A = this chain, B = another copy of it.
Amino acid sequence: MKYGIAIFPPKKIQDVANSYRKRYDPHYALIPPHITLKEPFEAEDNKIKEMVPHLKEIAKETNPFDIEINKVSSFAPVTNAIYLKVEPAEVIMTINEKLEAKLPGKSEHSYVPHITIAQKLSDDEFSDVYGSLRMGGFELKETVDRFQLLYQLENGSWTVYETFVLGEG
């Protein structure tokens, strides 16, 4: 099975992200708006129970933290993806490092905390959308207090297996 680990940010941020994802992200219907904590990875079905204690430990070591979203950024020219930049990055990057150390699958990309709101755009569409989104600003500040272990169904959509509450595990 393919697994993923992600934060679903509080509802207000998800609703803002969805207002763009609906038009610009073909993954809109596959998963709610999220901050990927570790790139999706393959592991056998029975390995999921072995992952849970590691995830509980990492959650327990991490206190709830505030995130701010003030602007968009982009992964161009690597891909035409546009994302909400999540700041500060430190706590999230620390969780990512711990997950990379404890779980299967190594990411090929350097890790940037982000919420994708547009992807797989044509070059022209990308220029238009990115140009207009950079003109506007965002003022979102919310507390993150949990993350999720998910698995992917055959249709490409994601189901939550378990929630890990920060400070509790």
Interface residues in chain A, defined as those with a beta carbon under 8 Å from any beta carbon in chain B: 1, 8, 11, 14-15, 18, 22, 28-30, 32, 45, 146, 148, 151, 153-155, 157-163, 165
Residues in B with CB closer than 8 Å to A160 are 8, 148, 160, 163
Q: Is the CB of B153 within 8 A of A32?
A: yes
Contact of A159 among B30, B32, B153 (CB under 8 A): B32
Chain B residue at minimum C-beta to C-beta distance from A146? B162
Contact of A155 among B22, B146, B151, B153 (CB under 8 A): B22
Minimum distance in angstroms from A45 CB to a CB of chain B: 8
Measured CA separation A158–B31 after assembly (Å): 9
Measured CA separation A15–B1 after assembly (Å): 12
Minimum distance in angstroms from A86 CB to a CB of chain B: 17
Measured CA separation A151–B165 after assembly (Å): 16
Measured CA separation A49–B153 after assembly (Å): 30
Measured CA separation A162–B124 after assembly (Å): 40
Q: Is the CB of B159 within 8 A of A14?
A: yes
Contact of A11 among B1, B30, B146, B162 (CB under 8 A): B1
Chain B residue at minimum C-beta to C-beta distance from A22? B155
Contact of A162 among B32, B153, B161, B165 (CB under 8 A): B165
Measured CA separation A11–B14 after assembly (Å): 25
Residues in B with CB closer than 8 Å to A15 are 153-155
